[in-house]
Amino acid sequence: DAGVIQSPRHEVTEMGQEVTLRCKPISGHNSLFWYRQTMMRGLELLIYFNNNVPIDDSGMPEDRFSAKMPNASFSTLKIQPSEPRDSAVYFCASSLNSEAYTFGSGTRLTVV
């Protein structure tokens, strides 16, 4: 298995622009998580999907953030409009029944 695949690996965008991050979880995993990692706050859970349904989005910082999982093999995290304070590394992780997490390599987002 290729693991959790995220794209792009790096994204640089101007403030106010829309940003879409993509994730392909491991086949057969039924849980998907979006995390954000910063030096100040460490790893924070943004949203959790189970069987493609959003279960917990309490970590989504603002209405500017939205996430979708249209099917079991694809999820997106969108920020619109983006702000400099959104700069961070965004990770997608998947698991089977919320056991051992497998993380992707992350997307490093820079908003200038």
Partner 1 sequence: TQLLEQSPQFLSIQEGENLTVYCNSSSVFSSLQWYRQEPGEGPVLLVTVVTGGEVKKLKRLTFQFGDARKDSSLHITAAQPGDTGLYLCAAGINDYKLSFGAGTTVTVRA
Name the site residues for partner 1 (rule: CB under 8 A). 4, 31, 42-43, 45, 48, 50, 55-56, 91, 93, 98, 100-106
- Residue 19 CB, shortest distance to partner 1, in Å, is 19
Pick the closer one to partner 1 by CB: 31 or 75: 31
- Residue 105 CB, shortest distance to partner 1, in Å, is 5
Pick the closer one to partner 1 by CB: 17 or 38: 38
2 CB neighbour count, 10 Å cutoff: 7
Cα gap 7→96, rounded to integer Å: 22
The first and second tokens of residue 95, run together, are 């698991």
Pick the closer one to partner 1 by CB: 50 or 81: 50
Single out the residue of 56, 82, 50, 46 nearest to residue 69, CA to CA: 50
Cα gap 71→23, rounded to integer Å: 11
Pick the closer one to partner 1 by CB: 18 or 44: 44
Cα gap 65→21, rounded to integer Å: 11
